[in-house]
Amino acid sequence: MSLRLRLMISYIVVAAFVSIVGIIGIITANQIIEADKIIISSTTPTLNALAQIESQGSKLAQSANQFALFGLIADDDEVEHQAVEEEQFAQDKAELFNWLDQLKAITNEPETYQEVEAITTAYLAGIQNLIDTAKSEANVEELHEVTEAIEETEIEFNTVMSAAIAEENAEFQQNIIATDDAARAAIMTNVVSMIVVMGMASLLGWLIAQRIVKPIIHLHEVSLRMTNGDYSQRSQFERKDELGQLSTAFNTMASAIQERNLALSASNTILEQRIDERTKELRIATREAQEASRLKDEFLAIMSHELRTPLNAMIGFQGILLMTAKLDEKAQHMVRRAQANAHRLLTLINDILDVSRIESGRMQFVKSEVGLHDLVDRLESQMSVLADEKKLQFTVDIDPRLPATILIDEDALTKIITNLMGNAFKFTEKGGVDLKLTQRDSSVVITVQDTGIGIPTHMHNAIFERFRQVDGSSNRTHGGSGLGLAIVQKLVLALNGTINVQSVVGEGSAFTVVLPLETVSEKVAV
C-alpha cells in the first residue's frame, strides 16, 4: 500500500470520527435550544399576563381615586375631568378582563387562574363601589370608609398576584436548571467523545509518523554528512512507496553533485589562473590610465598658461588700440568685439583649468579671515553693473547674527557667489535678483534667488554637470560654457558644504549653498 493511500485512509477515519462527534454535538445543541424555546414560550406569556393584570389593577385603583377626588370638588372643570376619568376607567377595566381571558387561555394551572380571577373580581367590585359612592355625591367620611375597604382588598390582590408571579418564576427557574443539567451532561458526553477521538487520532498519527519520520531522519543525516563535504554518502533506505522513490532520487542527486563538484574544482583552477591574468592586465591598465590623467593635467596646465599669455597680450593690445589709435567707429566696434571674445575665451580657459585642478585634487584651499560685509559690498558693486544694464532689481541682505569675520577660503567663496550671481543675471530678463546670507545653527547659508526662466525638474541634477545647460541647442539664446555650476558644486563639496536648487519654469530659481561656519574665536580656541 502506498504512503499516499495510507494517509488518505487515516484522514478519512479521523474525519469520520470528528464528524460523528460534531453531529452528536449539533443534535444535542438543537435539543437544548428546543427545550429552552418550549420553556420560554410556555412561561413568558403567563408571566406577561400576570404582570399586565397587576399593572391594570393598580391603574384602575388610581383612576378610581382620581374620580373620587374630582367628585369632592364642586367645580365645573373638575366635573369634566371626572367624566374623562370615568371613561378611562371603563377602558382600563375592559383591558383587565381581556388579560384575564388571555391568562385563562394560556395557563396550565386552573387553580392559579381561579384564585387570580376571584381576587381581581373582588378588587374590581371594591373599586366600582368607590366610583358609585363618589358619583352619589357622598361625603368625605363615606368615601373614607369605602377607601379603607378597598385598601384591604388591594393588599390581598397584590399578595395573590405576587404569589402567582413568584410561582411562575420558580417553575421557570426549575425548567432552566433542568435544561442546564441536560446541557452539562451533553457537554460532558461531547468532551469524552472528543478525548476518545483525539486519542485514537493521536495513536493513528503516531503509527503513521513512525512509517514516515524514520526514513526522513535517515535522509537528513545523510544530507548533513554531504553538507560537510562527504559527497560519497548514499541513502540505504529501500522501500517501494514514495519515500523509497525519494531515497532513490536522493542518491541520484548525490551522484550528480559529486560529479559536478569534481568538474567545478577543475573549472575553479582554470578560473583562478584567468583571474590572475586579468588582474595583471587591470593593474597595467590602471597605471596607464593614471599616467594618461597625469599627462592630461600637465597638458591642461601648460596649454592654459600658453593660451592665457597670448590672450592677455591680445586683450592688452586691443585696449591700447582703443585708447590711443585713431580708429573710426566701425574699426572700434570690431576691436571691441575681438576684445570681448578674447575675454570669453580667457574665462573659458580659466574655468576648464579650475575644474581640472579641483577634480585632480591639486587645488589647495587656504582658510583666511574674510570680512563678510567687505566681500559682499565688493561683489554687490561688481554685479550692480549687470543689474543696471538689464534694468533689474538687485537686493542684498546679510543676517545680523552672522559674525563680521569668518574663516574660509576667500577665493573659493568669491567664485561660488560670483558664478551663482552671474547665472542669475544671465537668465533673468525682468524682475530682480536677491542675494541673502543667513546663519543656521553652525552654518552659513547663501541663497541666490531670481525671477528668470526657471529650470525643469528633470534638469535639476544635470545642470551641475560640465558643459550642460537647460538649453543645449547650438542656437541657444543665452551664452556661456556650462561650467559655472559645475565649478560651484565642486567648490561647495570641497568645502564640506551642500548645494540644492528649487525652481519653477517661468517663475525663477533659488540656489541654496550651506557651508560650515568657522569664526576667528574658534580658531584661537583650537
Average pLDDT (361-376) is 84
What mean pLDDT is predicted for residues 307-335? 79
Is residue 259 in a domain? no
CATH number of the domain at 480, please: 3.30.565.10
Domain boundary among 202, 221, 254: 202
Specify if 24 maps to a domain: yes
Whether 158 has a pLDDT exceeding 80, the answer reads no
User: Cell 554531504 identifies what position?
Assistant: 226
Q: Give a yes or no: residue 77 inside a domain.
A: yes
The answer to whether residue 525 scores a pLDDT higher than 50 is no
Residue 468 domain flag? yes
Range of the domain at 82: 3-202
Q: Tell me: the pLDDT tens digits for 64-107? A: 666 665 554 444 445 555 566 667 677 777 777 777 777 777 77
Average pLDDT, the chain: 76
CA–CA gap between residue 291 and residue 288 (Å, rounded)? 5
Last residue of a domain, one of 171, 202, 233: 202
Q: Residues 477, 478, 482, 483: what is their CA dihedral angle, to the nearest 10 degrees? A: 170
What CATH number has the domain bearing residue 73? 1.20.120.1730
Measured from the Cβ of residue 504, the count of other Cβ atoms closer than 10 Å reads 12
Residue ending a domain, choose from 148, 173, 202: 202
> Looking at the 3D structure of the chain, how many domains does it have?
2
Paired sense of beta strands 432-440 and 393-398, if any: parallel
Q: Which of 39-48, 204-213, 264-273 has the highest mean pLDDT?
A: 264-273
pLDDT over threshold 80, residue 297: no
DSSP-derived secondary structure for 475-507: T-SS---S-HHHHHHHHHHHTT-EEEEEEETTT
**Rounded Cα distance, 136 and 204, in Å:** 93
pLDDT given at position 271: 86
User: Does residue 69 belong to any structural domain of this protein?
Assistant: yes
In terms of average pLDDT, the best of 123-127, 161-165, 332-336 is 332-336
Residue 300 lies in a domain: no
443 beta partners: 440, 516
